[in-house]
Structure 1
Amino acid sequence: MGMRNNARRSERSLVCAIQALVGTHILVELRNDTCVRGLLDDCDDAINVIIKDSLVEDVQGVEKKLPLIFIRGSHIRFVHIPLNISISQAVEDRLIWRRFVGTCGYLAKSDGHCLPKEPFLSNLL
């Protein structure tokens, strides 16, 4: 029951927009003016994010490559949405995915075949 309430809570907040970006390259600005670019690997309901293959740039412009970075949600100022992403479609696809993918991790299609978990389903439905 608690997990269901968390899912519904994230659907009613902007966290679903960030979760819809999982698997895309993003730019995150932190409260200390540091910028992190990379592939968004995961995002939880507190907007804690994991970014793979990241490039971290501090205030002085010094860049550092990191294979994996965890950023606490309270340290995030902005998450820039890539221009090629329709955020409304991405959120819609993510909500469909969350509602219809079972605990086994597969989505059953009407023809009886199963598809692996896929956050962006607009091309499959």
Structure 2
Amino acid sequence: MIYSVTDRQKSVLDAITSYTKEHNGLCPTLREIMAATGLNSISGVATHLKALERRGRIKRLPGLARGIAILEPQDDRIDAYNAVYLALDRAKAAAFKHHGVAGMREYSHAIDCLEVIKPEGII
């Protein structure tokens, strides 16, 4: 698994999954997730949901109450591609911050090369 999650994030994901199964596809509210996981605040739940979204485990649906979609891993190649792309993108941002445009060019070229080997299913 490329995008590993912490134990607490796993408990949040498990709480969402079990609630959704028990309630015919209806996702839990932040308060229900908080109660199911033992977290102390709604902001703690929101932080874990943001982390799960960054890791590609869920998708938040803005503007919708209970707007959480659980994403299933589709393909190990896609997970690996996303992990490499994310690492290169972060390195490019760091290079730009420290060295300006010149430092970022090497990473931009690597990202362009990565586009050549992009597996099917990635937008």
TM-score, length of structure 1 as denominator length: 0.31
Please identify which structure carries the higher strand content.
1
TM-score, length of structure 2 as denominator length: 0.31
Please identify which structure carries the higher helix content.
2
